[in-house]
Structure 1
Amino acid sequence: MSAIVYPLPGNEVVAHSLAAEIDGEIGKLVVRRFPDGESYFRYETPIDGREVILVASLDRPDEKVLPVIFAAGTAKELGASKVGLVAPYLAYMRQDKRFNPGEAVSSIYFAKVLSSWIDWLVTIDPHLHRRSSLDEIYSVPSATVHAAPLVSEWIRGAISAPLLIGPDSESEQWVAAVAADAGAPFVVLEKTRRGDRDVEVTVPDVDKWRDRTPVLVDDIISTARTMIETVGHVRAAGLQAPVCIGIHAVFADNAYVELKQAGAGEIVTCNTIGHDSNRIDVSGLIASAVRRVLPI
């Protein structure tokens, strides 16, 4: 019997693509709010004995986690054989240590909460800065997939003469990998410190690249401050308006508008979070990960 895929509100596009990829069924889940702000859930597609897959990207997580818990708990009570969560964007990964006394290590607590309600987890490019895998904090089976090959593929097909640019030395490994897969050259901005508050940022061998389209790539575009600064340096060097690519389109506050106003020629993201900038479909990646965690 095929799995039933239930999109939580705002996740319909990825859910429908996933169901098609794995020959699953799209289930109907009624979700609405009571006047006092509490949530109401009702499964209209029978799930007794079925594998249930919930699709919920967890940007702005504080308003989205309770619906996931209610949906998972209800599915289990109604007899689902397993309940998995596809979270294309997984929140609460950055606070992975106590940076200052008294702080909460929220990534651990968040993982404990989700692990207590689901049977497995699939996500794309979580922020594993100080951890080697999700298994360090999640107690359920998980699969992580990486969107960099899809980003490289998009660059190859959409930009005839790209130049990938990394904002600093820390980005070099990531940018180099995407550039190699895209068959494109890359550079990393050079910083020359002339004093405590005087840092000159330049594009190496700038004259070589004037006929190429600069491409800036990052995993998460949240405040977009790093990208905005890099766009400024690229434009100051006399290069073309850059294409800015992000895997996760968080875009806090007015970040998207500010990035456009800074001089970005085009802003492109993966559809891990629904946004007008989505150009790169990750449903195939998600389907491959789901098959690994839960053979269908």
Structure 2
Amino acid sequence: MRPLLLPLPGNEALAADLASRLGAESGILTVHRFPDGESHVRLESPVAGRPVVLVCALDRPDDRLLPLVFAAATARELGATAVGLVCPYLGYMRQDARFQSGEAVTSAIFARLLDPWIDWLITVDPHLHRRRSLAEIYAVPATVLHAAPAIADWIRAAVPAPLLVGPDEESGQWVSAVAAAAEAPCLVLEKTRHGDRSVEVSVPAVERWRDRTPVLVDDIVSTARTMIETVGHLRRAGLAAPVCVGVHAVFAGHAWRDLQAAGAGRIVTCNTIAHPSNAIDLAPLLADAVRARLPVPATGRS
């Protein structure tokens, strides 16, 4: 039987695109919240005897994990031959060590909560700052995809004379990979974080780059404070309004609006999290990875 793709709420467009590329069926899964906050989950499409692929970005994971687990467990109970998860953004990856006594290492705990209900996992650029691979915390087979080539393609096509700028040391891996693929120079700035919403960024002399368009590249844009601070420094240095590129459009609170107001020339993200800033499509990359996980190769447009 054809594979069935079931999107959790907010992931319908990506799931439909993947289903079309794979020659799979795009199914329906509904989630209803009771007045007391509990979740009611229903698989509207039959799953017995077929592989099921759940599609769910795990930004705001406290609200999304339980419906996802309920959906995966129900698919198993109703006879799905396998349950895979396409999770373009994988939450709870930052707390990967115990920095202070008594802290929960939530990345590992979160993995143990999700592991029992899925057979495989596909994600994009998880935050592996202190981990070498997802295999250190996830027991299921995991495919990690990288957005850098797609971002580089977009920059080459859309940005004249780009100068890649990494807002902090952690973004250095993104900047170097994207810059190499885009055949553009790059700078990596230094960041000092004073709190969740207080960041100081130091910018080297950039006067010699005045004829180029700065492109800030980061993996996760959450509060956007780092990018906002960097945009201000670059504008004060006399550079053009920077293009801000992020892999994952978390945009907590008013972050997107604040970044726009800071003077960014354009804000662009990949479609790992549905957001109006999405301009870089990773569906072809995800579809290839899903196809490799399906028990019988699916056919469809590529």
TM-score (norm 1): 0.92
Query: Which ranges of structure 1 fall in alignment gaps of 5 or more residues?
Result: 192-198
Amino acid at match of 1:80: A
- In the alignment, structure 1 residue 188 sits paired with structure 2 residue 194: no
- In the alignment, structure 1 residue 96 sits paired with structure 2 residue 96: yes
Matches within 5 A, 1:114-133: 114-133=114-133
- Report the Cα offset of residue 174 of structure 1: 2.8
- Report the Cα offset of residue 189 of structure 1: 4.2
Contact 2:223 2:251 in 1 (8 A): yes
Aligned counterparts of 1:125 and 1:167: Cα–Cα separation in 2: 17
Instruction: Please name the residue that 1:265 is paired with.
Output: 265
Instruction: Please name the residue that 1:26 is paired with.
Output: 26
Amino acid at match of 2:27: G
Contact 2:27 2:44 in 1 (8 A): yes
Contact 2:89 2:126 in 1 (8 A): yes
- Report the Cα offset of residue 190 of structure 1: 7.6
Moved more, 50-59 or 128-137: 128-137
Aligned counterparts of 1:174 and 1:59: Cα–Cα separation in 2: 20
Aligned counterparts of 1:147 and 1:97: Cα–Cα separation in 2: 25
Instruction: Please name the residue that 2:159 is paired with.
Output: 159
- Report the Cα offset of residue 204 of structure 1: 3.4
Aligned counterparts of 1:123 and 1:170: Cα–Cα separation in 2: 19
Contact 2:201 2:226 in 1 (8 A): no
Moved more, 278-287 or 161-170: 161-170
Aligned counterparts of 1:190 and 1:15: Cα–Cα separation in 2: 38
Q: Helix, strand or coil for the counterpart of 2:95?
A: coil
**122 and 171 in structure 1: CA distance in 2 versus 1, 3 angstrom threshold:** closer
- Report the Cα offset of residue 134 of structure 1: 0.8
**204 and 52 in structure 1: CA distance in 2 versus 1, 3 angstrom threshold:** same
Matches within 5 A, 1:89-238: 89-169=89-169, 171-189=171-189, 201-206=202-207, 208-238=208-238
Instruction: Please name the residue that 1:244 is paired with.
Output: 244
- Report the Cα offset of residue 168 of structure 1: 4.4
Contact 1:142 1:293 in 2 (8 A): no
Per-residue CA distance 1:214-266 (angstroms, 9 max, x = gap): 10000000111111111111001101100000000011111111111111111
Contact 1:11 1:55 in 2 (8 A): yes
- Report the Cα offset of residue 161 of structure 1: 1.7
Instruction: Please name the residue that 2:6 is paired with.
Output: 6
Contact 1:203 1:234 in 2 (8 A): no
**264 and 110 in structure 1: CA distance in 2 versus 1, 3 angstrom threshold:** same
Amino acid at match of 2:266: E
Amino acid at match of 2:91: A
Aligned counterparts of 1:40 and 1:113: Cα–Cα separation in 2: 19
**54 and 200 in structure 1: CA distance in 2 versus 1, 3 angstrom threshold:** closer
Aligned counterparts of 1:188 and 1:19: Cα–Cα separation in 2: 39
Q: Helix, strand or coil for the counterpart of 2:117?
A: coil
- Report the Cα offset of residue 44 of structure 1: 2.3
**292 and 212 in structure 1: CA distance in 2 versus 1, 3 angstrom threshold:** same
- Report the Cα offset of residue 170 of structure 1: 5.0
**188 and 91 in structure 1: CA distance in 2 versus 1, 3 angstrom threshold:** closer
Aligned length: 288
Amino acid at match of 2:215: V
Q: Helix, strand or coil for the counterpart of 1:2?
A: coil
Per-residue CA distance 1:145-197 (angstroms, 9 max, x = gap): 00010100110111122111223455444312211211222233489xxxxxx
Contact 1:189 1:204 in 2 (8 A): no
Amino acid at match of 1:175: V
Instruction: Please name the residue that 2:39 is paired with.
Output: 39
Contact 2:30 2:41 in 1 (8 A): yes
Query: Which ranges of structure 2 fall in alignment gaps of 5 or more residues?
Result: 192-199, 298-302
Amino acid at match of 1:115: D
**53 and 190 in structure 1: CA distance in 2 versus 1, 3 angstrom threshold:** closer
**188 and 142 in structure 1: CA distance in 2 versus 1, 3 angstrom threshold:** closer
Q: Helix, strand or coil for the counterpart of 1:76?
A: helix
Instruction: Please name the residue that 2:194 is paired with.
Output: none
Aligned counterparts of 2:248 and 2:117: Cα–Cα separation in 1: 25
**132 and 215 in structure 1: CA distance in 2 versus 1, 3 angstrom threshold:** same
Contact 1:90 1:126 in 2 (8 A): yes
